[in-house]
Amino acid sequence: MIFDFVTRSLRSPSVLVPVEELFANSLGSRMPDARAEALNEAIAQRVVASCGLSALTMDDADGRMTLSLDYGRCTGCGKCIEAGEGAFYLANQLPCGVSRQALIRRWDLTRGTEILADEEAMTATAKEIRSIVGGALNIRQVDGGSCNGCEAEISALSNPYYDLERFGIHFVASPKHADMLLVTGPITNNMAEAVKRTYEATPAPKLVVAVGACGCSSGIFANSPAVYGSIDSVIPVDAYIPGCPPTPAMLLTGILRTLRHK
């Protein structure tokens, strides 16, 4: 019986996801996107009212009404899609920014267009990221107090479908062997000192990536007395990956975008 199972397994077709399907893919994340031409003030007011995390906000700046969506706060609850009358839909692609500001999108409600961010400002932090020496990247994953949703997605990166190691990326057990810290969850009061020591134990040059809504902004736990704050309130952060939780494809996209290719 075992021999038959092994034989069928070896004869089965490969299910390794193609590389081109990984980059910027956010399918399954439940995160929203918006059709700029379908937005108006009435819809914007409804979606803002439906968001309990203030990820969606309206602002009257320079004589024009704008709608902002902060992916760093968004948990993909879907309420804005329900209230958006078709203007909001499940995203196919999401920004995984090397700056916190890169996770915020804005729309001009009067003109029905998206307000594109200044490319120089968006890439300012990217220019500061140091190149990783050698042909491999070693990652130490740090749980600062998460619900383990992000950890479940991170563990999937090592399975035969995503196969993180084909990119030369490996998870290590000690921060002393790491080039990058992949940090999840809001930082709880009990974990703040441990996260700081982990960062200090990681040799330079090192990169820090904040994972998930909780890592980017403390998410739904922002006002908890047990929470110290988001990851960048404890240690320097080089890049942010939104989502609650981000899918494995989003995680891999964020990791690879963080690195500057030689």
Domains in the chain with CATH codes:
32-126 (no CATH), 128-258 (3.40.50.12280)
Q: How far is CA 15 from CA 24, 160, 161, 247, in A?
A: 20, 8, 6, 17
Calpha distance 171→161 (Å, rounded): 17
Taking only the tens of pLDDT, the chain with its 262 residues reads: 566 656 666 566 666 767 666 677 888 889 999 999 999 999 999 999 999 999 999 988 667 889 999 999 999 999 999 999 999 999 988 766 667 888 889 999 988 888 876 544 444 433 433 344 356 789 999 999 999 999 999 999 888 788 888 777 889 999 999 999 999 999 999 999 999 999 999 999 899 999 999 999 999 999 999 999 999 999 999 999 999 999 998 998 888 778 753 3
Alpha-carbon distances, residue 157 vs 12, 16, 35, 105, 241 (angstroms): 21, 12, 31, 28, 15
- Give the end-to-end CA distance of the chain in Å, rounded to a whole number: 50
Task: Specify the pTM.
Answer: 0.77
- pLDDT single digits (tens) 23-32: 778 888 899 9
